[in-house]
Amino acid sequence: MANCFKIVVALTFAGSILVSCKSVVQQSENEPRVIKTAFKDKFYIGVAVNRQQAVGKDATGQNIIKQHFNSLSPENDLKWEKIHPKPEVYDFTAADAYVNFGTQNNMFTIGHTLVWHSQTPDWVFEDYKGKPLTREALLTRLEEHINTVVGRYKGKIKGWDVVNEALNEDGTLRDSKWLKIIGEDFIAKAFEFAQKADPEAELYYNDYNLYKAEKRAGAVRIIKSLKGKGIKITAVGEQAHYSLAEPDIATVEKTIIDFAATGVAVNFTELDINVLPDGGATNTADVSNTAQYSEKYNPYVKGLPVNVIDSLASRYGSLFRLFVKYDASIDRITFWGLTDGDSWLNDWPIRGRTNYPLLYNRDFTIKQPVKDAILKSLK
């Protein structure tokens, strides 16, 4: 993304995380009240929106998004199972609302995602008898899908997560149906089809845990392979589903350096910070990962203690100091959800928990200490 497009969100901050901690940090009359002012020309600040927000049923959330963010990602409504649920059947209702919301409010609008092993119906990979498609038939189906979806939003959606989560933790390709039927070049073909459908759109590879050396090396191989074939790839998205302690800042910095060295931008596309115990789940963001509920893994039902709020603010502050240091290599920071109540981390990897990973509290007030830490990252 060219520097002329780096227009950053205006986030007006008021309130705090909990009634019990409103006095923890007070708004200074002399500090900027909006992140746009403080982060001018650095990078986009994005947010993932759900259907209720996109169509306006969550009016409060939609108003906050319109006022305070300048980039949008859809949580689900551009995934294959939502937009193309059956052969020859497309449902653009929710996706159109999302895209219209972004374009009407002059936001850098993202398409998520074209190729993923999850949330893709079984019929995509099968013929009318339920048998696996041939390579040629699946490529034809993939190209038709990309032409239809990307073509519909040509010029409106500015960047696409073309391929999502194609790697195992060791950097090898995931044994998905895309790989089994098409072969290793399914990634290259998807990028080719997307580039042809909208030559002006930015094209991304998106994955979690790219801070891990082996998995990051796999992503670097994908980037170099695409570039070696003359296929467009604009950026890599590190999903950044982090915890209060992991990964450490030096590791995140190494991630930025390694990807920037390949000549692509580095985006942090699904940023949230899990403040809860892991519950024995493996260190991954795979949606299939689950663990058993226990009250000891849900300790903050009544609100976050002040010391945990301080830890969360410190963590965000450290990350944003790093983002500012490498702003020339970073185009976008996207939070994966607007409020804590919207976050997938309430139900993953353990259902029914109360998590606090985002900028906004459940009552739509900002987390004041987090806001202050983010602004101070520029000092």
Catalytic positions, please? 165, 270
Answer whether 276's CB lies under 8 Å from 298's CB.
Answer: yes
Answer whether 110's CB lies under 8 Å from 159's CB.
Answer: yes
* Bond into 349 cis (ω within 30): yes
Which of 319, 292, 293, 307 is CA-nearest to residue 374?
319
Distance CA 186, CA 180 (A): 10
Burial class (CB in 10 A: 0-12, 13-18, 19+), 3: exposed
Distance CA 117, CA 241 (A): 19
268 three-class SS = strand
Distance CA 18, CA 361 (A): 8
**DSSP letter, residue 5:** G
Distance CA 8, CA 285 (A): 27
